């Protein structure tokens, strides 16, 4: 009995030593962490984010069947022109890149039409403030709409329309919306014959300039 216990103990000790490499590397190391140690440069493995995966899939689909496309990137004022120009020059687009001057996008105003007199407009503005509508301005005599009550100014038409509808739902009557030209020039870039690689590069550039927009050429 003692001999059997001794043999069992020696067998367990031998198995333990073999598993820990006392007799050289084991023939099969298929579990972690041994399997990870056998990988080539495991520290270089990098997990991709969902956005990176989506970009790779989009690029692959573009390379599979899409034809070179034309994109527009803009609009840039004079203050940011040098920086975006340098960024695009780094892409080595050559004659595929064109720049043109355009009239910068204007804005949309939501307002109440001009009152008959300044005093009347001021009384109406005070009444609106009492009703909780505080973001307003009585427009001056030198404006395009003297004595009108400005209720909001927006770059996006849809946002202006929403604000107009919201004020109407709150019981305000006669709310109007109008577009105003900016009177300022800007620069818009056109990139022709853009393949999948250029598409991805342009998307990265656009993210560096959050105020810009990247879209398909109109024709």
pLDDT digits (tens, 9 = 90+) for 143-174: 888 999 999 998 888 999 999 999 999 999 99
Q: Which tokens hold the place of 181?
A: 């030209």
CATH number reported for the structural domain that contains residue 147 in this entry: 3.30.70
Compute the mean pLDDT over every residue in the chain, rounded to the nearest whole number. Answer: 76
- The Cα–Cα gap between 124 and 166 comes to 19
**Rounded to two decimals, what is the model's pTM?**
0.46
Domain total of the chain = 2
Give helix 196-208 / helix 78-89 axis angle, nearest 10°.
150
- Asked if 73 and 127 sit in the same domain, the reply is no
- Asked if 173 and 67 sit in the same domain, the reply is no
pLDDT at 12 over 70: no
- The Cα–Cα gap between 151 and 109 comes to 7
- Asked if 191 and 87 sit in the same domain, the reply is yes
| pLDDT on residue 96 | 94
Residue 141 domain flag: yes
| Domain span including residue 158 | 107-180
Give 218's pLDDT tier (boundaries 50, 70, 90).
Answer: confident
Q: Spell out where 64-161 has E strands.
A: 69-76, 97-103, 107-112, 137-138, 149-154
Residue 31 domain flag: no
What does the DSSP 8-state code read for residue 40?
S
- Asked if 85 and 176 sit in the same domain, the reply is no
| pLDDT on residue 68 | 76
pLDDT digits (tens, 9 = 90+) for 16-68: 454 444 444 444 444 433 333 333 333 333 334 445 434 444 444 444 455 67
Mean pLDDT over residues 78-90, rounded? Answer: 93
CATH number reported for the structural domain that contains residue 195 in this entry: 3.30.70.2030
3-state secondary structure labels for all residues of 176-200: EEEEECCCCEEEEEEEEEECHHHHH
Element (H, E) at 122: helix 118-130
Give 14's pLDDT tier (boundaries 50, 70, 90).
Answer: low
Mean pLDDT over residues 75-94, rounded? Answer: 92
Residue 27 domain flag: no
Residue 118 domain flag: yes
Strand order in the sheet with 107-112: 137-138, 149-154, 107-112, 176-180
- Asked if 76 and 101 sit in the same domain, the reply is yes
Least confident of 7-16, 51-60, 142-151, 202-211: 51-60
Closest CA to 195 of 58, 81, 102, 43: 58
């Amino acid at each position: 009995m003692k001999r059997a216990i001794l043999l069992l103990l020696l067998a367990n000790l031998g198995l333990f030593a073999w598993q820990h490499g006392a007799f050289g590397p084991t023939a099969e190391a298929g579990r972690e962490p041994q399997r990870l140690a056998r990988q080539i440069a495991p520290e270089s493995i990098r997990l991709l984010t969902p956005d990176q995966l989506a970009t790779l899939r989009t690029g692959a689909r573009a390379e599979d069947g899409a034809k070179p496309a034309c994109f527009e990137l803009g609009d840039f004022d004079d203050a940011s022109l040098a920086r975006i120009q340098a960024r695009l020059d780094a892409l080595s687009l050559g004659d595929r890149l064109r720049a043109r001057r355009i009239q910068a996008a204007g804005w949309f105003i939501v307002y109440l039409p001009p009152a008959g007199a300044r005093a009347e407009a001021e009384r109406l503005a005070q009444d609106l403030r009492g009703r909780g509508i505080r973001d307003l301005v009585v427009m001056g005599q030198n404006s395009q709409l003297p004595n009108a009550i400005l209720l909001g100014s927006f770059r996006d038409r849809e946002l202006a329309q929403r604000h107009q509808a919201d004020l109407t739902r709150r019981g305000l009557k006669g709310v109007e919306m109008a577009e105003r030209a900016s009177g300022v020039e800007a620069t818009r870039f056109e990139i022709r014959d853009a393949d999948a690689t250029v598409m991805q590069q342009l998307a990265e550039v656009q993210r560096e300039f959050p105020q810009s927009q990247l879209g398909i050429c109109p024709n």
